[in-house]
Amino acid sequence: MSGDGPTLGDASAAGGRSVGHGHSHAHGGGAGHRHAPTPGQQAHAGRRAALEADGTPADSAHADLPPLPEAVDVFDTTLRDGSQQEGLSLTVDDKLRVAEQLDHLGVAFIEGGWPGANPKDAEFFARAPKELSLSTATLVAFGSTRRAAVAAEKDETLRHLLEAGTEAVCLVAKSSEMHVTHALRTTLDEAVAMVADSVAYLRAHDRRVFLDAEHFFDGYRANADFSLRILQAAAEAGAETLVLCDTNGGSLPAEVSSVVGDVLDRFETQVGVHFHNDSGCAVANSLAAVQVGATHVQGCVNGYGERAGNTDLSATIPDLSLKLRVRTIPDGRLERLTPVSHHIAELVNIAPDPQQPYVGSSVFAHKAGLHTSAIARRSDAYEHVDPELVGNGTRFVVSEMAGRSTLALKAAELGLDLDSQAATEVLDTLKQLEYEGYHFEVADGSLELLLRQATGWRQHYFELESYRVISDQGGDRQSTEATVKVFVGNERMVETAEGNGPVNALDAALRAALVPHFPGLAHVHLVDYRVRVLDSARGTGSVTRVLIDSTDGDRTWTTIGVSENIIAASWQALVDSIVYGLVHTGPEGTGAATTPEHDKEPA
């Protein structure tokens, strides 16, 4: 396809001439101070030096590359690209807290948003210098190149980027001929000039510049000469990193390896990648790019982003660190991955995916009897890495399919001594309860209490006398009142409370009765309540299963109740939740588990 200016020759060839020379990839070629090269930039320079030391020209075919780069710079764009996910909306306070977590993890760069695009991002960049104290990360502002036919010094987007006050900026530029002619509606030469002028202008104002070459892989496929001209313009103007973006998310690893390898052969400037997951290959594509020499990877924690999301850094970081032995974050930080992933999920108000690689609650959980037996003898039998390396842990899931060995392992995991006879008895009980509709593999709290009871333990924190629920509705007014009568020791407690429904009212009344005796319960809160009808064919007489999620701020647990009466099922789950909380937080809320001797049945 034709362009409006000189071409770079046959871009499809494996080799090519090196462009962008004369400007260190570490600092670009514009005015301003030099900054220390990042680990990824040092690795990029080391790759080229290794090629030349081996007698191989740095711009030769990439079939015989030296070993993998020693390090990759991790660039997180959760606050910008990730926030474009449907249903994800962050306040400025949320963005600041997410940034703190990303820095705690140890990423190299945090893209904070697009200053000038909306008041929220403008406020974020205004507050960030005063409220964030970043230890490892550099904050980056995002924006586009100058508009067509507008001088850089008069362009509002570039002005907003400077006003953001960040050390580094990320410029997005069209690198696909189709997008230039149809979206920008300008010429290819003007698109190249827009990149060159914008990068040079920002470099003259002492900013580090990353270029996001939008739609690069699609553009390269259609007109590689033009796409490479965009990179050349940025490199020669002083951009420190050329980021190849798979904006539509349709590329596959083999193509990525070929294209990234060709770009690396042609440019001295550091090369990075930014993938979307529309074909399910974002992580694989990122790994493929690093394997041919890319030393900068962009993505989002938990893979957030529009459509199918961005590269999931929660998987990419451990893949690079543990599988390819490429340094991504500072030593000692990888074990923070799971807690940070879950904390950010809480901040963005999206439930964590239990099957998310490395950080999901189910990815090191074992249910099948053969698996659990093997895991007990050798942990790597069914675990590809030690889960503790990423801050996760092995779990044994117990259901009616479990054998005695699985139950014994689960009990040991909880610090309980379950002998063979007790294991057999609790297994029979478990199978009967699951036949009735209980589902203990999703109710870890109730399961633990069941196993404790199998060792002779009984809860004597309180004893129920009765409960009653009354609902009134008249006109627009609706109220629910619950009365709970319990014994705590020899003291009879009677409390009544109102709520927005039966469960809320029962919870309030039970707490009112117990908190004076057990202050630790003040820290235990119900966070989710779910009901499932198990045999809907019976209509209003159906058996219902209730699951309640509770937390004390440090841990979260699930309890279960099953009954034809939804209030009775809810009461079962609620009582288990309270008892579990007392066991693990202690009556005073000290966090000490309480299994006193007097709570055991006589031998």
Predicted confidence (pLDDT) at residue 68 exceeds the cutoff of 80: yes
* pLDDT mean over 193-203: 97
Per-residue confidence (pLDDT) for residue 394, from 0 to 100: 82
Q: In this predicted model, what pLDDT tens digit does every residue of 555-583 receive, in sequence order?
A: 889 999 999 999 999 999 999 999 999 99
CB 169 within 8 A of CB 209: yes
> Which of the given ranges, 27-41, 396-410, 529-543, has the highest pLDDT on average?
529-543
Using the 8-state DSSP alphabet, how is residue 449 labeled?
Answer: H
Is residue 178 helix, strand or coil?
helix
DSSP codes of every residue in 533-551: ES-GGGGGG--EEEEEEEE
Region for 243 from its dihedrals, namely left if φ exceeds 0, alpha if ψ lies in -120 to 50, beta otherwise: beta
Per-residue confidence (pLDDT) for residue 370, from 0 to 100: 54
Which residue from 275, 265, 264 is spatially nearest to 241, judged by alpha carbons? 264
Per-residue confidence (pLDDT) for residue 20, from 0 to 100: 43
What is the C-alpha separation between 597 and 498, in angstroms, rounded? 37
Q: What is the rounded radius of gyration, in angstroms, for the C-alpha atoms of the chain? A: 30
- Token pair for 348: 């963005």
pLDDT band at 490 (very low <50, low <70, confident <90, very high): very high
Per-residue confidence (pLDDT) for residue 239, from 0 to 100: 98
Q: In this predicted model, what pLDDT tens digit does every residue of 267-301 receive, in sequence order?
A: 999 999 999 999 999 999 999 999 999 999 999 99
Per-residue confidence (pLDDT) for residue 583, from 0 to 100: 92
Predicted confidence (pLDDT) at residue 511 exceeds the cutoff of 70: yes
CB 106 within 8 A of CB 329: yes
Task: Give domain 437-459+518-603's CATH number out of 3.30.390.30, 3.30.450.40, 2.30.42.10, 3.30.160.340.
Answer: 3.30.160.340
Looking at the domain 69-348, which fold is it? Answer: TIM Barrel (3.20.20)
Q: In this predicted model, what pLDDT tens digit does every residue of 406-455 receive, in sequence order?
A: 777 778 878 888 788 888 888 888 888 888 888 887 888 999 999 999 88
Report the range of poorest mean pLDDT among 11-25, 89-103, 479-493, 569-583: 11-25
pLDDT band at 67 (very low <50, low <70, confident <90, very high): confident
Per-residue confidence (pLDDT) for residue 315, from 0 to 100: 98
Per-residue confidence (pLDDT) for residue 39, from 0 to 100: 84
Using the 8-state DSSP alphabet, how is residue 529 labeled?
Answer: E
- Token pair for 287: 């790994």
Residue type, 61: A
CB 170 within 8 A of CB 145: no
Report the range of poorest mean pLDDT among 125-139, 515-529, 582-596: 582-596
Residues forming CATH 3.30.160.340 domain(s) in the chain: 437-459+518-603
- Token pair for 300: 């989002």
Predicted confidence (pLDDT) at residue 533 exceeds the cutoff of 70: yes
pLDDT above 70 as % of the chain? 83
Predicted confidence (pLDDT) at residue 540 exceeds the cutoff of 70: no
DSSP-assigned beta bridge partners for residue 297: 74, 273
Per-residue confidence (pLDDT) for residue 549, from 0 to 100: 92
CB 391 within 8 A of CB 339: yes
Strand 109-113 and strand 463-474: the pairing is unpaired
CB 360 within 8 A of CB 371: no
DSSP codes of every residue in 107-127: -SEEEEE-BTTBHHHHHHHHH
* pLDDT mean over 225-251: 98
Exposed, middle or buried: residue 125 (CB in 10 Å: 0-12, 13-18, 19+)?
Answer: buried
* pLDDT mean over 343-370: 85
Predicted confidence (pLDDT) at residue 1 exceeds the cutoff of 60: no
Exposed, middle or buried: residue 350 (CB in 10 Å: 0-12, 13-18, 19+)?
Answer: middle
Per-residue confidence (pLDDT) for residue 403, from 0 to 100: 63
* pLDDT mean over 384-392: 94
Per-residue confidence (pLDDT) for residue 375, from 0 to 100: 59
Q: In this predicted model, what pLDDT tens digit does every residue of 114-166 receive, in sequence order?
A: 998 899 999 999 999 999 999 999 999 999 999 999 999 999 999 999 999 99
Predicted confidence (pLDDT) at residue 31 exceeds the cutoff of 70: no
Report the range of poorest mean pLDDT among 140-144, 374-378, 548-552: 374-378
Report the range of poorest mean pLDDT among 34-38, 579-583, 590-594: 590-594
Per-residue confidence (pLDDT) for residue 145, from 0 to 100: 96
Per-residue confidence (pLDDT) for residue 595, from 0 to 100: 43
- Identify each DSSP E strand in 176-292 by its residue range: 208-214, 241-246, 270-275
* pLDDT mean over 94-105: 97
Residue type, 570: S
What is the C-alpha separation between 430 and 428, in angstroms, rounded? 5
Using the 8-state DSSP alphabet, how is residue 523 labeled?
Answer: G
Q: In this predicted model, what pLDDT tens digit does every residue of 290-344 receive, in sequence order?
A: 999 999 999 999 999 999 999 999 999 999 999 999 999 999 999 999 999 999 9
Containing 282, the helix (H) or strand (E) segment is helix 282-291
Is residue 173 helix, strand or coil?
strand
* pLDDT mean over 76-85: 96
State whether the Cα torsion 333-339-345-347 is positive or negative: negative
* pLDDT mean over 219-231: 97
Summary mean pLDDT of the chain? 86
pLDDT band at 379 (very low <50, low <70, confident <90, very high): low
Predicted confidence (pLDDT) at residue 56 exceeds the cutoff of 80: no
Three-state secondary structure along 219-240?
HHHHHHHHHHHHHHHHHHHCCC
CB 484 within 8 A of CB 511: no
pLDDT band at 372 (very low <50, low <70, confident <90, very high): low
